[in-house]
Amino acid sequence: MVKSQKVRPTNLDLTTIKQPVSAIASILHRISGVINFILVGFLLILLDFSLQSSNNYQSIVSFLHNYFVIFIMWGFLTALTYHLFAGIRHMLMDLGYFEEIASGRKSAIVVMIITIIFSLIILGALV
């Protein structure tokens, strides 16, 4: 006897799917990790260039005073902050905390709120 497969509707439009807060937190954690990976390499290149001579150092200092570069640095530090706090949340989940749906949702919201607060503090320090 041959089974016929059910024709199931597929929804590939991701904008119509309502993700839970914990899923959004997980996705943002991955995105912040990619941002950190890319920008740390760029910062190491800048560090290498600045250590070659005092003229190069002065060039980097003037480069870092550009508002667009300050905005990029703010984004990097915000991503780093989020990645740190979300990583701590994941480690606590590995230890058995925040595994229920309600506490997982609350911990994800707390991580996002803490990141926003630290992001504003970082912005105030950079500008």
Helix, strand, or coil (residue 81): helix
Check residue 14 and report its DSSP letter.
G
Q: Are 83 and 33 in contact (CB under 8 A)?
A: yes
Is 29 annotated in some ligand binding site?
no
CA distance 75 to 78: 5
Q: Write the CB contacts of 39 (distance below 8 Å, at least 6 apart in sequence).
A: 72, 76, 79
123: left (phi over 0), alpha (psi -120 to 50) or beta: alpha
User: What residue numbers does the annotated binding site for heme cover?
Assistant: 83
User: What residue numbers does the annotated binding site cover?
Assistant: 83
